[in-house]
């Protein structure tokens, strides 16, 4: 993964801005009775995102707790935390990080105030957010109900319609049989796309370009969704050909304040997986940007969105935008937004969870400005000899890029 930032020294400015904003917030909170400082944070995740959150916690004077599977005993995220505990003993590595009872048990036994879910694993599981709430541990993210609503693609779509946000023509609810997909295709024509109703990340998605492909792709999408999310329910949409994929970063607090931090363009994808993220989107019509950000904020306000999230859209060749989904978590590509806005999103997540309002943190919409561009590139590996199936191996060559008005940030 390569991240290239804008032309000025954003990291130094971030540190200064954080210190000033947090100092003001400490002395001028209009919600002092609501403020509950966090002293210890567990990250229910592994690898890069765990280390990212630990860094933010350390900068804010918050003690950190790592969890790790038996297979991850020697991983760096375990070493970077103040405390580390084994979870999911005897389980495969992925299953260990999905073991909600064990994670909650470790949190309670070690006086954890709040849990950050990272991305992937349990980050969009409403039952995990609820399990945290049930034992008095704060979930660093939206409320369990909002996580549930946003995780249900069909309900999220209905909420978007209610908020006046345009959506792609599609079924009102999950389809239950092939005949419903056939009926939809007769009404709207081809191409259409099957999508998993209860998950994302490109899994359970199948594009159908003609009637003869319908049954096979329905069965494949159902099987993929069932394997990935434990639920094979699908819904059907009209497929927008060659769109731009634009997502808007939002941030909300406990008091109804919601702001956006502009957009990212993630149109360069491989098998529905993002490969390149650019912030802000290049050659995006200013009026379209205004509509995208306004719709994102309106939708977030309607559902009472709290903490960080991303509202995703497709933009067709005529400049019309359509709501896709809300990711109710921090995303891998959050760093490019941080680079162009000078806002540390993980700091903001932690402070919002403590009860700080966005204005207290200096985060008002009029204060958010775009500075330069940032690009994140993800390393993808495939084996041509096996039909370009996903592959693994050692990364042996590292390339740093630099040119006028850009500077390498992280390789």
Q: Which residues are tagged catalytic?
A: 329
130 Cβ neighbours under 8 A, 6+ residues apart: 144
**Rounded CA gap, 154 and 161, in Å?**
11
- Residue whose entry in the numeric block shows the structure tokens 């999905």: 98
Supply angle C-alpha 15, 19, 20, rounded to 5.
120
Task: Tell me if 364 sits within 8 A of 297, measured CB to CB.
Answer: no
- Taking residue 182's Cβ as centre, other Cβ atoms within 10 Å add up to 15
Pairing state between β 407-410 and 321-327 = unpaired
**Hey, what are 177's tokens?**
């049989």
SS3 of residue 300 by DSSP: helix
Residue 160 phi, psi dihedral angles, 5° rounding: -65, -45
- How does DSSP assign 68-123, residue by residue? E-GGGTT-HHHHHSSEEEE-STTS-HHHHHT-HHHHHHHHHHTT--EEE--SSTTT
Task: Tell me if 381 sits within 8 A of 394, measured CB to CB.
Answer: no
**Rounded CA gap, 153 and 37, in Å?**
34
Residue 404 CA to chain centroid, in angstroms?
31
316 Cβ neighbours under 8 A, 6+ residues apart: 240, 243, 322
The number of helices, as runs of H, and strands, as runs of E, in the chain is: 13, 18
SS3 of residue 161 by DSSP: helix
**DSSP code of residue 170:** B
**Hey, what are 97's tokens?**
């990080």
CA dihedral sign, ordered 201, 198, 95, 55: positive
**Rounded CA gap, 318 and 315, in Å?**
8
């Amino acid at each position: 993964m390569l991240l290239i930032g804008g032309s000025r020294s954003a990291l130094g400015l971030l540190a200064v801005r954080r210190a000033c904003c947090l100092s003001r917030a400490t002395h001028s909170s209009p919600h002092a009775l609501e403020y509950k400082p966090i002293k210890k944070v567990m990250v229910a995740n592994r690898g890069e995102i765990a280390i990212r959150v630990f860094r933010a916690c350390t900068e804010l004077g918050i003690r950190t707790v790592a969890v790790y599977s038996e297979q991850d005993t020697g991983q760096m995220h375990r070493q970077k935390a103040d405390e580390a505990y084994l979870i999911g003993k005897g389980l495969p590595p992925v299953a260990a990080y999905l073991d909600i009872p064990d994670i909650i048990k470790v949190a309670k036994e070690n006086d954890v105030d709040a849990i950050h879910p990272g991305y992937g694993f349990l980050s969009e599981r409403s039952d995990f957010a609820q399990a945290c709430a049930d034992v008095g541990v704060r979930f660093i993210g939206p409320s369990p109900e909002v996580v549930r609503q946003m995780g249900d693609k069909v309900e999220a779509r209905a909420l978007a319609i209610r908020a006046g946000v345009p959506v792609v023509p599609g079924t009102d609810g999950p389809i239950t049989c092939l005949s419903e997909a056939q009926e939809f295709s007769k009404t709207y024509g081809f191409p259409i796309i099957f999508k998993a109703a209860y998950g994302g990340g490109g899994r359970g998605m199948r594009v159908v370009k003609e009637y003869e492909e319908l049954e096979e792709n329905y069965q494949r999408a159902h099987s993929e969704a069932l394997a990935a999310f434990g639920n094979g329910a699908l819904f059907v949409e009209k497929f927008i050909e060659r769109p731009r994929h634009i997502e808007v970063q939002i941030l909300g607090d406990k008091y109804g304040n919601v702001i956006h931090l502009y957009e990212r363009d993630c149109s360069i994808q491989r098998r529905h997986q993002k490969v390149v993220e650019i912030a802000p989107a290049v050659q995006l019509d200013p009026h379209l940007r205004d509509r995208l950000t306004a719709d994102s904020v309106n939708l977030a306000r309607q559902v009472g969105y709290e903490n960080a999230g991303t509202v995703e859209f497709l933009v067709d060749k005529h400049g019309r935008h359509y709501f896709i989904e809300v990711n109710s978590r921090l995303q891998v590509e959050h760093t490019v937004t941080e680079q162009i806005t000078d806002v540390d999103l993980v700091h903001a997540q932690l402070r919002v969870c403590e009860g700080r309002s966005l204005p207290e943190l200096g985060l008002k919409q009029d204060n958010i400005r775009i500075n330069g561009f940032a690009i994140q590139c993800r390393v993808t590996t495939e084996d041509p000899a096996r039909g370009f199936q996903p592959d693994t191996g050692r990364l042996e060559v590292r390339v740093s890029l630099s040119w006028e008005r850009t500077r390498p940030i992280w390789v």
